[in-house]
Structure 1
Amino acid sequence: MAAFSIFFFCFTISSHSLYTFAMTSDTIFMNQTITDGQTIVSAQETFELGFFSPGNASENRYLGIWYKRLATGTVAWVANRENPIRNKSGELTLQTDGVLVLRDSATNSIIWSTNTKGKTRNPVARLLDDGNLMVIDDEKDNGPENYIWQSFDHPGETKLPGMKLGWNFESGIVTNFTSWKSDDDPSQGPFMVYMNFNGLPQIYQNNGDVIQYRLGSWNGQAFTARPAARPNSIYRLEYVSNEREIYTKFDSINDSILSRLTVTPSGITGRYTWVNRTQGWFLFSAFNTDTCERYALCGVYGACDSTQSTSCGCLEGFTPKSQAQWDISDWTSGCQREVALDCGVREGFRKYRFMKLPDTRQSWYDTNMTLEQCNAKCRNECNCTAYATLNIKYGSGCLLWYEELIDMRVIPRDGQEIYIRMAASELGKVFCF
């Protein structure tokens, strides 16, 4: 949902790190070294790479990429986030084998490296106008996937247009996004946004080992927690699942508008756009905006409804497992069936409308089946608890659940339909809000 205030959060470069000398090139060549105080700048002066100190209190030095022409100083990527340099003795060198190495010249110790080696004849490291630092072989065909190493495969707290969140099966690279510890410390904080690949892939945000929020799975149009996402003039979402990789990304529609997705040290994940008039970042949309977005707030077979005075309720045909706990607004124990299942031939399914689909970690899916085939498969498997259409854009595909259903909420007008297995005596009603 759109935010109605400007939120000036960003990671910026402190004043004592601004004494830099921008080189004319966007490229680091083989055996070339960049020292603290030197930078390279992308062709259209969108991004700059060099050494900086974050915030206002830190004296530590980091190799990073920040916005150059607009939103000047907002940091988008940090190389050595877990291993700072204690002084201005940092040196970045591109070796002949295509490996970028960051050293502390005062101690001659390696602080960070890309740790990749390829058969290269003429490696170069180039900073692109999308904020991606790529190491390529300048004598080969340098298509979008023909690279030795790229910073987009190793994001920090910021997701830029074109960055993927997902898993490349061929390279084994899994990309996620992790908060800084604080505005002055870019080392990994407790908050992580990631894709889980058990069952139908879906996106979560964790605080340590605890799931805070589930954006859900892709339904052909949007993620199930955000089904009301509408086309806009700033960005478009894309979800790809094939034999090579599974990922989601967003791309800018208008390159003149800067947009980024960031998870802050306090755990706020939001999409920001740059506003020239105010010279600040505008919070365009955010996760975790209401109580119902807390993961599994209402327990199994419970549904959260932010329009009601009591957030949680049991689905029709279910009742609280512990009425005493529900009476004090502790809903985590969830709900239980009013009539138990017995796998009888007369069991069927009740349709519940306008729902955020439940957690899909214990699910199965098929992209080609019809809804009728989906019904038949679930009916014939006693441990199948529910089914739904996989792709609502085309009305195709089958999604099955095999465990108790959890983390549901009511999304008036824009939620999806789910068919939940019920005893014969419970059939014949439609659950809707």
Structure 2
Amino acid sequence: MAVGVHRVVIVGSGFAGLFAARRLEGAPCEVTVVDRRTYHLFQPLLYQVATGILSEGDVAPPTREVLRRQPNARVVLGEVVDVDAAARVVTARSPVGETALGYDSLIVAAGSAPSYFGHDEFAVHAPGLKSLDDALEVRGRIFGAFEMAESEPDPERRAAWLTFALVGAGPTGVELAGQIAELSRQSLRGRYRAIDPATARIVLLDGAPRILPAFDERLSARAADRLRELGVEIEPSAMVVGVDADGIDVQGSDGARRRLVTRTKVWSAGVQASPLGALLARRAGAALGRHGQVEVEPDCTLPGHPEIFVVGDLMSLDGLPGLAEVAMQSGLHAASEIDRRLGGDPRPRRFQYRDLGSLAAISRGYAIGQRGRVQVWGRPGWVIWLTVHLVFLTGFKSRVAALFHWVFSLFGRARYEQSTTLRQVTARTASPSRPG
């Protein structure tokens, strides 16, 4: 690295981190992107990896590939374990040891993780859907459930394998429910001999009184109607209070508890900030919000540390939601602030979020969307959803591959990403493998 060149360290290669890095292309600085993964994850499409539509490569292009034509950017694989705000040094740990990365400007975009509301033990039997590992695990559990049902002679145990419980009725839960319904009713038709996949139960639960609470009530109702047409059972005002290998315990609005026997559970009921937020709070005197997000100034910097930006899901500012669009725009804002400073303009600019609307794909050919008072649903909504996701997918190869899979999904029943092993079926509860 050239002596005297402004050093920018970006923690995280998600939407916020990657958009920040690309915004600094051509700027008079050296950019280092550090992350514990070597790819940029298009998180909104993880549910399609989990249901066999897309491959992991379609939603996770290598970060080095994305930044290959940006000479002032480099990538470091490692997990950030310390931030020394006084010395302006980030420490990243990898199998080869610890690496100290000095910085003049720091952008922290470490993202978020599933929240089990104080019951982290639920994760063993009900994985979230926030990472590529999660998506592959959930895919193994979903397709593996049909395989286990095919081999299970006992009717009650077979029914348990063919019952899918999705906890959380936000966009992820709703989209996953719709895809599992289509998978069982259409894509897997005629694939098995001892079972009929169409008899599978898909149960969508949420503590809120309706699904998709961030959307207008009318759109939420349309989405619910579409899910019911697909055979999804919707249970609002249902709190999950227990999770184990054989099922979940549900508490209704009247306080009564009941048991849902199911071997396949997926959790999308809440998120919490990356643990890096708590580290920043200790090392830089930052304050934390309700879900562990770091409270920032209007320009996304830490109070007392104008050289440190916190963006994306990790920041707490004006009640902004943890959406991909917020991450993209805040990452761009942080990079623009650094670029302006390097150009001789030190005045901070307030981050202004532009709400471009929300979309959710309920099933193939059917999506809902809203922006302000404008609402769309059905096939027009799906076309808009398709266009937006193609635009924001990173890399030409990813766009072509995704479009190919979507076309086949829309006009046919094929899903090519169904590979499952016995170990993936049991996932985190698997026992050590034996030779032979």
Q: What TM-score comes out, normalization by structure 1 length?
A: 0.22
Q: What TM-score comes out, normalization by structure 2 length?
A: 0.22
Which of 1 and 2 has higher RCO (CA within 8 Å, sep 6+)? 2
Richer in helix (by share):
2
Richer in strand (by share):
1
